[in-house]
């Protein structure tokens, strides 16, 4: 009955029930989460989303919204009951407005991030959000998880790119908040509630986004450093002297580098001699190419950096980024791994990595720490591969124990156990453990106010 | 041999989406990332390897182009070239004029080998190397994917349509390089700084006394026609109908 209703709402192109065709929607690419659903609906407009929500709410059926399904915490995967409706925003992929003069654009939730970037570039503007999955992740998912990525140091997270939202609420109302204002103090800033809420408060169907001037030519460099602390110090010095020119500041351990060179085709060694740690640096050089070279030379002379290779063309820039973006893939080929997407204050990144690695090796002898991440914003992907000869499934059973160990150390540094991947189904316990009762109570109050019947992605976040 | 002469052309970086200038008189280069022509970078890498094997003693990089081409020459010097010559020309230089400029430099420098990219990715002419060999009266080996120098002989593997061809030529000669010849090295910052002190000689093209050919003029620059979006057809009958609709059959 509900299924027929839904099929009528979204039309022939808008639904999938064939089990084989459903499969790609029901598990994550890293294979950690599998769910079941009787139907995937793919509405073509906000009105259809609203009608789907109303129909589901009337029958007490809960809804799991999904974008490009590139998540890592199960936030967009339905539960195992098979009773939930999966709502894919993929067909809502129009760019509704593009205004270079206003430095803004309005896009639908199903737009692929790379397409949004390209549309902005087409009118000589920059949409700065950039992350490894940008070729398939969708803007709705980016906002719902408050995604981060590699440009946060200069432009902030997904949240900071949002001027306004259009959201379908749990009662089927459409909130049109697609304003493009920079200044707006008219009451509660309710758009912020939906960003990072992972679809538990409503379904983001469109967003007005902030655009930036395109930076001048980008220079990319790989810097060899002695240890993570040197990387942190290097960041402080360079950002101080070059200010907003620093666009990306990514830490890569030698182990991560070796795995990439070993497993990923078309990658090659940048330095003839290995260094224990590397930093991938990117800065815009509107008028200051020489200044950047001068500053980098100074950090070599002061001993903060051991050596620097500057990409001399875009091919080399791409080669350097390919190393950074291939780490997860390379680590997969080294066996099972447990991942911890955490953040600490920028100044504490060095100490955190050393302390956490020491603790891991004490408790899990032979485990191989592969740490990398966005030092410029304090986000560390503290990933651990199984010991070489160990049994993969036994290693994976230690997921919770290892997570507690890492998160406890994160907490000591005043950090977060979830930097940019969200909570999803994976980290709900951690949320309860590491956030105060007061904070959780506020979250519950918000959830109850906006979704009293718990139809919006239940079982996620809270 | 004593010297190798390498050509380095300043071109729009291969990864930049090229746009026609608003006045329709050429390609937009303002604020656009410029790099060494990739084939030329391969030529320089090969010259450096030949020198490092002890088969040459000096690598000279040459560019014909605007004053800004000094950047590309400095990059060449940072890779390891010993000195650089810029033949300054605000206007683009066609392949035959370029070949004549090189011939003049060949006469001055007397290199044992001239290494050039097989073509520049801006105009894709693929002519300068062949023309230089002809007016110099020396052998040429084009599209090189492997170069082996023994005394005054070069054994060169060429990438041709039917496969690989290996030829032997006497030096001095012109060799033009193909993509698979080598992978150019990265440059380290200290080498970039050192390169700023290496000699870079600038000569206005008019001072060379070389006759500028003007065998052709540019008539117009147009961007390629925008492709319209494709449509999916269900079956052969659908395809036939679609073609009929468009009046194509």
SS3 for B143-157 is: EEEEEEEECCEEEEE
A-chain residue closest to B72, CA distance: A312
- Give pLDDT, residue A380: 95
pLDDT tens digits, B59-87: 999 999 999 999 999 999 999 999 999 99
Listed residue (B198, B199, B174, B184) closest to B114, CA to CA = B174
Pull the structure tokens for residue B215: 């065998």
Location of structure tokens 């002061």: A302
pLDDT tens digits, B207-247: 998 888 777 777 888 888 888 878 888 899 989 998 998 88
What pTM was estimated for this model as a whole?
A: 0.85
Name the minimum distance, in Å, from the CA of A268 to any CA of chain B.
10
- Give pLDDT, residue A218: 85
Phi, psi of B144 (to 5 degrees): -75, 130
Domains and CATH numbers, chain A: 2-88 (3.30.43.10), 95-213 (3.30.465.10), 218-329 (3.30.70.2190), 335-422+430-434 (3.30.70.2740)
**Contacts of residue A306 in chain B, CB cutoff 8 Å?**
none
- Give pLDDT, residue A292: 80
B-chain residue closest to A121, CA distance: B17
Tell me the residues of chain B between 35 and 74 that have a Cβ less than 8 Å away from chain A.
35-36, 38, 41
Domain boundaries, chain B: 3-245
User: Cα angle at A125 between B11 and A319, to 5 degrees?
Assistant: 50
- Give pLDDT, residue A40: 96
pLDDT band at B42 (very low <50, low <70, confident <90, very high): very high
Strands (E), chain B: 3-7, 10-12, 34-36, 58-65, 83-88, 113-117, 140-150, 153-160, 163-170, 173-177, 187-188, 200-204
Residues B15, A318: C-beta atoms closer than 8 Å: yes
Residues B189, A217: C-beta atoms closer than 8 Å: no
**Contacts of residue B183 in chain A, CB cutoff 8 Å?**
268
Residues A293, B192: C-beta atoms closer than 8 Å: yes
Cα–Cα dist A126/A116, whole Å: 10
Contacts 24+ apart (CB under 8 A), B223-231: B223/B19, B223/B20
The yes or no reply on domain B3-245 and CATH 3.40.50.620 is yes
**Contacts of residue B79 in chain A, CB cutoff 8 Å?**
312
Strands (E), A25-74: 37-41, 63-66
A-chain residue closest to B79, CA distance: A312
pLDDT tens digits, B172-215: 999 999 999 999 999 999 999 999 999 999 999 999 988 887 77
- Give pLDDT, residue A132: 83
Phi, psi of A453 (to 5 degrees): -100, 10
Residues A309, B38: C-beta atoms closer than 8 Å: no
Residues A312, B188: C-beta atoms closer than 8 Å: no
User: Cα angle at A22 between A18 and A25, to 5 degrees?
Assistant: 170
pLDDT, chain B, mean: 93
User: Cα angle at A30 between A26 and A32, to 5 degrees?
Assistant: 65
Which member of B78, B79, B188 has the closest CB to residue A308? B188
Residue A146 DSSP label: T
Pull the structure tokens for residue B246: 């468009």
- Give pLDDT, residue A31: 66
- Give pLDDT, residue A230: 95
Please, what are the averages of pLDDT over each run of 10 residues along chain A (462 residues)?
Answer: 93 92 87 87 97 96 96 93 96 97 97 97 94 93 94 93 98 96 94 97 98 88 95 92 85 95 91 93 72 86 93 93 91 91 95 96 94 90 91 90 96 95 93 95 97 96 92
């Amino acid at each position: 009955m509900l299924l027929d209703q839904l099929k009528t709402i979204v039309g022939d192109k808008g639904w999938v029930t064939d089990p084989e065709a459903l499969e790609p929607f029901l598990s994550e690419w890293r294979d950690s989460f599998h769910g079941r659903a009787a139907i995937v609906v793919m509405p073509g407009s906000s009105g259809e989303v609203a009608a789907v929500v109303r129909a589901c709410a009337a029958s007490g059926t809960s809804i799991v919204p999904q974008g490009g399904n590139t998540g890592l915490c199960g936030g967009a995967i339905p539960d195992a009951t098979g009773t939930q409706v999966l709502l894919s925003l993929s067909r809502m992929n129009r760019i509704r407005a593009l205004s270079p003069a206003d430095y803004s654009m309005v896009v639908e939730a199903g737009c692929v991030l790379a397409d949004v970037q390209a549309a902005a570039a087409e009118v000589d503007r920059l949409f700065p959000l950039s992350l490894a999955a940008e070729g398939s992740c969708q803007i709705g998912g980016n906002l719902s998880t408050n995604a981060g990525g590699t440009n946060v140091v200069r432009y902030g997270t997904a949240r900071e790119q949002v001027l306004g939202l259009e959201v379908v609420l749990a009662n089927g109302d459409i909130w049109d908040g697609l304003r493009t204002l920079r200044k707006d103090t008219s009451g509660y800033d309710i758009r912020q509630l939906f960003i990072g809420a992972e679809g538990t408060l409503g379904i983001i169907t469109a967003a007005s986004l902030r655009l930036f001037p395109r930076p001048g030519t980008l220079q990319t460099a790989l810097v060899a450093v002695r240890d993570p602390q040197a990387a942190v110090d290097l960041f402080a010095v360079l950002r101080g002297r070059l200010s907003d020119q620093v666009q990306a500041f990514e830490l890569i351990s030698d182990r991560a580098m070796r795995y990439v060179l070993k497993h990923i085709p078309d990658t090659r060694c940048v330095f003839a001699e290995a260094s224990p740690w590397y930093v991938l640096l990117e800065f815009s050089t509107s008028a200051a190419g020489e200044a950047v070279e001068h500053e980098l030379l100074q950090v070599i002379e002061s001993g903060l950096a051991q050596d620097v290779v500057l990409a001399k063309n875009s091919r080399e820039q791409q080669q350097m980024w390919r190393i950074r973006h291939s780490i997860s893939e390379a680590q997969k080929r080294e066996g099972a791994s447990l991942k911890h997407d955490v953040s600490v204050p920028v100044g504490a990144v060095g100490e955190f990595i050393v302390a956490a690695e020491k603790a891991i090796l004490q408790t899990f002898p032979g485990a191989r720490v592969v740490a990398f991440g966005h030092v410029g914003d304090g986000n560390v992907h503290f990933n651990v591969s199984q010991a070489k000869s160990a049994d993969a499934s036994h290693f994976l059973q230690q997921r919770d124990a290892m997570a507690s160990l890492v998160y406890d150390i994160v907490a000591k540094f005043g950090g977060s156990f979830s930097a940019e991947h969200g909570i999803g189904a994976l980290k709900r316990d951690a949320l309860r453990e590491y956030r105060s009762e007061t904070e959780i109570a506020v979250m519950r109050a918000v959830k109850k106010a906006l979704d009293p019947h718990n139809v919006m992605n239940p079982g996620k976040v809270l | 041999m004593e010297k190798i002469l390498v050509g380095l052309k300043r071109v729009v970086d291969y990864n930049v989406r090229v746009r026609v200038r608003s006045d329709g008189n050429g390609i937009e280069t303002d604020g656009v990332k410029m790099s060494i022509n990739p084939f030329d970078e391969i030529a320089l890498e090969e010259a450096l390897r030949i020198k490092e094997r002890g088969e040459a003693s000096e690598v000279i990089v040459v560019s014909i182009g605007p004053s800004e081409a000094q950047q590309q020459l400095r990059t060449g010097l940072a890779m390891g070239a010993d000195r650089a010559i810029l033949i300054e020309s605000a206007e683009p230089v066609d392949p035959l004029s370029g070949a004549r400029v090189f011939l003049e430099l060949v006469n001055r420098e007397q290199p044992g080998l001239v290494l050039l990219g097989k073509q520049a990715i801006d105009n894709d002419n693929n002519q300068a190397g062949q023309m230089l060999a002809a007016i110099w009266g020396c052998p040429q080996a084009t599209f090189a994917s492997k170069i082996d120098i023994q005394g005054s002989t070069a054994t060169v593997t060429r990438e041709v349509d039917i496969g690989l061809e290996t030829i032997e030529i006497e030096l001095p000669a012109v060799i033009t390089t193909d993509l698979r010849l080598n992978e150019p090295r990265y440059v380290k910052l200290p080498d970039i700084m050192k390169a700023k002190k290496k000699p870079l000689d600038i000569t206005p093209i008019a001072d060379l006394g070389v006759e500028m050919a003007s065998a052709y003029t540019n008539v117009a620059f147009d961007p390629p026609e925008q492709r319209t979006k494709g449509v999916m057809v269900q079956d052969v009958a659908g395809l036939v109908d679609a073609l009929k609709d468009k009046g194509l059959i």
